[in-house]
Amino acid sequence: MPESITLLALFEDIDPAANGIQKLRSMGVTDDQMNVISGIPMPGRVLGRPNAITNVSRIALVGAGLGMLSGVALIYGTIYLYPLYVGGQPLYPVPMGWIVTFEMTMLGLMVFAFLGLFVDSGFPSYTPKDYVPEISDGKIAVLFKCDSNQERPVVDALTKLGAESVKPAEARQL
């Protein structure tokens, strides 16, 4: 049974990278066996890749709900626990409720969006990973798995399409 190997192809520009991905697909590498690592965000349609799915917005929405609840708890809950009349104002004031709830909702939304990024991307992660430093200098890397007996033809095909290098991916400390 052929074992699968992970290769990293480095491209200098968008067009060769997109052509390379198309070529890989035609050689039998499926979309979920590929990953593109780049120095700027490349939306899926530019490189011919399916759109990535993110859970950040869902997590952020949960955070907004929690924030709203905590805002209501903060103003009305604390008054319930410690009722004190001040200035002839009602004990449970409505306008202040809006202000406090709004602030806490936005806080919850944004904090959970931030944490959602951490959770969804697995940050912080300091284990060795497949990466080359040239990526942050603008190169586009296509990380893909293919069968080991396909290595030669794949390397040839990608090099012909303009890849700077196609090497086995080394997991190294970033």
Partner 1 sequence: MSTDLQLPVFSNTTQEDLKGRWGMVIDQDVCTGCQACVAACAMENNVPFVGEDDAGYGRGMHWIRIERFWQGTFPAVKMTPFQPMMCQQCHKAPCEPVCPVFASVHSASEDINVQVYNRCVGTRYCGNNCPYQVRSFNWRDYTDARVRPELTTLQNQLNPDVTVRRRGVMEKCTFCIQRIRHAEDAASSEGREIADGDVVPACAQACPADAIVFGRIDDPNSMVSQKSLASRGYHQLEELGILPRVTYLQGESNVGNG
Partner 2 sequence: MSATARALPNIRPQAAEQEDPREHLMLDPKPRGEMNGMVLESMRSTGWRYWLVTLVLGFLVLTCFFYAWYYLIANGLGVAGVNRPAYWAVFLVNTVFWIGISHAGTFISAILRVMKIEGRRPFTRAAELMTTFGLVQAVSSVFMHLGRVWLAYWLIPYPNERGLWPDFHSPLMWDFLAINTYLLCSTMYLFLPLIPDLAMVRDHKTGWQKVAYRILSLGFRGTEGEWKNLHTAMNIFAFAIIPVMFSVHTIVSWDFAMAMRPGWSSSVFGPYFVIGALHSGMAAVAIVLFLVRSTMKNMKYFIRPEHFNLLGKLMLMVSMAWAYFYFNDYLVPWYGGDKWEQILRLFIEKGPIWWLWYVLLICNIVVPWLILWNRKWRSTPWLLALTGVVINIGMWIERYVIIPETLTINRMPFTWRIYIPRVEIFLTIGTVSLFLLLYMMASRLIPLIPVWEVQEGQEAHMLRKVGKAEIPAVSEIG
- Which spans of this chain sit near partner 2 (rule: CB under 8 A)? 14, 35-44, 46, 49, 51-57, 60, 74-75, 78-79, 81-82, 84, 86-87, 89, 93, 96, 99-100, 102-104, 106-107, 109-111, 113-114, 116-118, 120-127, 129, 131, 133-138, 143, 173-174
Nearest to 9 by CA among 155, 160, 170: 155
The alpha carbons of the chain give a radius of gyration, in whole angstroms, of 25
- Residue 88 binding: pick among partner 1, partner 2, none (C-beta 5-8 Å cut-off by kind): partner 1
- Residue 69 binding: pick among partner 1, partner 2, none (C-beta 5-8 Å cut-off by kind): none
> Taking the complex as a whole, how short is the minimal distance between the CB of residue 120 and partner 1, in angstroms?
38
Indicate the residue among 43 and 90 with the shorter CB distance to partner 1. Answer: 90
d(CA 73, CA 78): 7
Rule CB under 8 A: which of 76-95 touch partner 1? 76, 79-80, 82, 84-94
Q: According to the binding rule CB under 8 A, does residue 99 interact with partner 1?
A: no
d(CA 31, CA 59): 26
Classify strands 140-147 and 34-37 as parallel, antiparallel or unpaired: antiparallel
d(CA 15, CA 120): 29
User: What are the tokens at 152?
Assistant: 């030669």
Rule CB under 8 A: which of 122-151 touch partner 1? none
Residues 6+ apart with CB under 8 A from 100: 71, 74, 75
- Tokens 């004031």 map to which residue? 93
- What does the binding site for partner 1 look like in residue numbers (CB under 8 A)? 76, 79-80, 82, 84-94
